Amino acid sequence: MTQPQEEQTKKTMGVDPFERNWMIFSIGLIVVFFGLILIAGFALGIQVPGPDSRVDPQTFADASPWGEPVREVSPGEYEVYVVARTFFYEPREIVVPVDSRVTIFVSSPDVQHGFKISDTNVNMQIVPGQVSKLSYTFDRVGEFPYICTEYCGIGHAAMSGVVKVVEEGGEG
């Protein structure tokens, strides 16, 4: 760490060679990380929810298919419209055969909620007036609780439901 010459420092802002290498390393790290999340997003398809549609929080939950059980829209493809409300989900249970692709729509008639399915990449902020949507393929048999992850009032800690992934043909 020698005191740099004045002329040299004018050119380099007094940046020490170690420091310059560190800056290059830092920028390299940022580029690599950004590449990795791009790969995760586009090659592996791990995406976050984007705008789907808007609803009137005060009326939408009365209309079909909101709050109804999961339904098969084409072979192996399922849809479920979940109402997240203080302090429970409708439906409270989502039963699908293993390896099915499920598209989950969630909205709230009252306050903000969360919707996170344990041990999966499904995690959404639920905002009144907006429909949150994600698709996920359940490739393991088992029970996967979905939990409210946003404070919504006094009963927040009790707010949960469960995805039951069952053997093919073993539904119900």
Footprint on this chain of other proteins (rule: CB under 8 A): 1, 3-4, 6, 9-10, 13-16, 18-19, 22-23, 26-27, 29-30, 33-34, 36-37, 40-41, 46-52, 54, 56-58, 86, 110-112, 114, 116, 118-119, 121-133, 145, 147-154, 156-158, 160
103 or 149: CB nearest other proteins? 149
Token look-up 């006094």 returns 154
Which CB sits closer to other proteins, 100 or 132?
132
What are the angstrom distances between the C-alpha of 123 and each of 8, 34, 142, 168, 172?
A: 53, 21, 18, 26, 26
For other proteins, the closer CB: 40 or 63: 40
CB of 22 to other proteins, least distance (A): 5
Contact present, 138 and 102 (Cβ < 8 Å): yes
C-beta of 50 vs 169, nearer to other proteins: 50
Closest CA relative to residue 159, chosen from 94, 124, 113, 126: 113
Q: How far is the CB of 119 from other proteins (least distance, A)?
A: 7
Pairing of strands 93-97, 160-166: parallel
110 within 8 A of 79, measured Cβ to Cβ: no
